Amino acid sequence: MRFKIFRRAVLCGLIFTLTVGWATMVYSETTQSELARSVIRFHVLANSDSAEDQALKLEVRDAILSRLETELSASRSVDETRRIIESKLPMIESDAAAFIKDRGYNYPVKASLTKDFFPTKTYGDITFFPGEYEALRVVIGEGEGRNWWCVMFPPLCFVDATKGKVPDEDKAQLKSAVDKKYVLLSDETREKSVTVNVKFKIVEWWQNLLHKDEDKNKGKDTDKKNSGYLVENRSEMEEK
């Protein structure tokens, strides 16, 4: 009799655990995919981890962002940003290759609008959970070096976050773009609400688990600083 009760308890516990696990996984996938549909990100991979290649990566990044800043800063939708990037891909490749050649290197450059895995990234007081996002991906040479990342839509690549906060007008655009997902991204909201913070952690945990076999280089950061953005302050842009 006791064994039957124990067996039923174990079975009920297993069913409950599987149900909760499945529900939280579905929540994570749904939440991340909904956010991913609302943003476009930027991912630059250096040729190698040598000091010269890392410095070159940052120069190429600056050149690309400076060239695209006017149009992307004025973009008001993810579709508009996508069209701009797609139309500029040949220019990005040719300009970057010419820039690299002028610096005395002979690395090829490949620019594409693709799906890429991004680890958890903080932009001032806004944090994006990990997962697969649409991104402008620029690979310099072998692309074996440390990465650099930011958000092209909403245009957080052009926000000065060296003060540790994203300006209210840029937060308003982000909130408009991602709708209800904004509360999960806001550090301030998560600090005030245990429920919101737990929801963020659920998404983060499942995304990291589901993408644990992703190319290790995609999660390889340039250094251990948080992100910064503005063209004039890109020395502070390296993300954790």
Sign of the torsion angle spanned by Cα atoms 130, 136, 137, 138: negative
Identify whether the C-beta of residue 134 lies closer than 8 Å to the C-beta of residue 114: yes
Give pLDDT tens digits for 28-59: 999 999 999 999 999 999 999 999 999 999 99
First to last CA, the chain: 56
Tens digits of per-residue pLDDT, 131-189? 999 999 999 999 999 988 889 999 888 765 455 678 888 888 888 999 889 999 999 99
Per-residue pLDDT at 231: 37
Residue with the larger pLDDT of the pair 76 and 205: 205
The predicted structure's pLDDT at residue 20: 84
pLDDT of 227 strictly over 70: no
d(CA 201, CA 147): 24
Q: Which amino acid is at 58?
A: L
Report the share of the chain in percent with pLDDT over 90.
Answer: 60
Residue 19 has pLDDT above 80, yes or no: yes
Q: Tell me the average pLDDT across 75-100.
A: 95
Q: Give the helix/strand (H/E) hosting 110.
A: strand 109-118
Domain boundaries, the chain: 36-236
Residue 230's pLDDT band (cuts 50, 70, 90)? very low
**What percentage of residues in the chain have a pLDDT greater than 70?**
84
User: How high is the pLDDT of residue 7?
Assistant: 72
Inter-residue contact 123 to 150 (CB < 8 Å): yes
Q: In the chain, which ranges are continuous DSSP H helix?
A: 2-36, 51-74, 78-102, 168-178, 182-185, 187-192, 194-210
Place of tokens 């996984």: 25
pLDDT for res 160: 57
